[in-house]
Amino acid sequence: MLACTSQDAPPPKPAPKKADPSAWKEIETPVPVGKKLPCTQVVAVDKIGAAVGYTLEVIDQSSKDPDATSVCRIMTSKTPPKGKKEKGALEPGEELATLSAYCWYPFSVPEIKKRCTDGGEETSTDVGAITCVRKVKAGDVHERFVVTTLEPDTRCKLVVNPGAANYDLALTKATAKALVDTIDKDSLKKQ
């Protein structure tokens, strides 16, 4: 006959440690996590259009990316002003770029730079706090250039993906720079 003794019983588990609420630090993001911003609040089409030499329109497609604060297709106007010839190769109604703005995370320059260099992208400080350029094959003869930048005031990560007919790195960088120049904490807070 076997009898259980106190030596056979497992040792009592220590009481779980309670989290110290003073040790938690809330991370401030430019936009509350989960809040979508309309493209009209993020993309200043008149200012950006003046910077890149096009009359622009914006189409909100934020529902396409649940992780993005905003996804905005920036299009050349279908009806350019009479008597004004639009500069560049894009035709009326073509997509200049799609902006994906990520403002819910605490991005840092070293983190973004590491991701870019690990992915084989070129990095610089041409636009914003850090600029990454990824080359993407577009058919047999063309390349497109996706520009990722960190807006220095808001710390939003902006990804500028050129439209189907935009193979011009300078134009894509100018679009990214105009976005960086027009986005600030105040523009993200207005309703």
In the structure, what pLDDT confidence band is assigned to residue 30 with cuts at 50, 70 and 90? Answer: confident
Percentage of residues of the chain with pLDDT beyond 70: 79
Q: How far is Cα 36 from Cα 32, in angstroms, rounded to an integer?
A: 9
Q: What is the 3-state secondary structure (H, E, C) of 11-25?
A: CCCCCCCCCCHHHCC
The whole-chain average pLDDT of the chain stands at 85
pLDDT at 86: 47
Total Cβ atoms within 10 A of residue 176: 27
The mean per-residue pLDDT over the stretch 142-157 comes to 93
Q: What is the pLDDT of residues 48-96, one digit of tens each?
A: 999 999 999 999 999 999 999 999 999 998 865 555 554 456 889 999 9
Domains of the chain: 33-80+88-189 (3.40.1000)
Which one is predicted more confidently, 118 or 82?
118
pLDDT at 25: 54
| 1 pLDDT higher than 60 | no
